[in-house]
Amino acid sequence: MASLENDVKALLAQELEVPIHEVTTTADLKKDLTVNDLGKSQMINAIRQRFDVYIEEEDTDQLNTSMSNIDWYESLQLTADSRLQQLKM
């Protein structure tokens, strides 16, 4: 997970134009990193492009901290891995 966490943090820092040390796992995007709706939209688009995923609109409301972004993508990977395992059976 460390690599995924670092990738997500680096992406958030780049997209939000903040120093990477400010993108902690507990950093609230609005309160700590002063992300507005436009910034959140840009961040979500960057995640979509970087990780080649689709984020449902209702899922975007849950992406409020750096860790929630990491957890969301990690759960997506686990779901994909699980489906792949089922196909191999």
Q: How far is residue 33's CA from residue 29's CA, in Å, rounded to a whole number? A: 5
CATH number of the domain located at residue range(s) 4-87 in this protein = 1.10.1200.10
- Asked whether residue 88 carries a pLDDT value surpassing 70, the answer given is no
Question: What's the whole-number average pLDDT of the chain?
Answer: 81
pLDDT (tens digit per residue) in 32-51: 988 898 888 888 888 888 88
Q: In the prediction, which pLDDT does 20 show?
A: 93
Please report which confidence band the pLDDT of residue 21 belongs to, taking 50, 70 and 90 as the band edges: very high
- Domain residues of the chain, as ranges? 4-87
Vertex 49: Cα angle to 8 and 39 (nearest 5): 65
Model pTM greater than 0.85? no
Asked whether the beta carbons of 80 and 51 are under 8 A apart, the reply is no
Instruction: Identify which has the larger pLDDT, 52 or 1.
Output: 52
* In the predicted structure, residue 80 carries a pLDDT above the cut 60: no
What average pLDDT score do residues 1-29 get?
87
Contacts of residue 54, Cβ cutoff 8 Å, sequence gap at least 6: 48
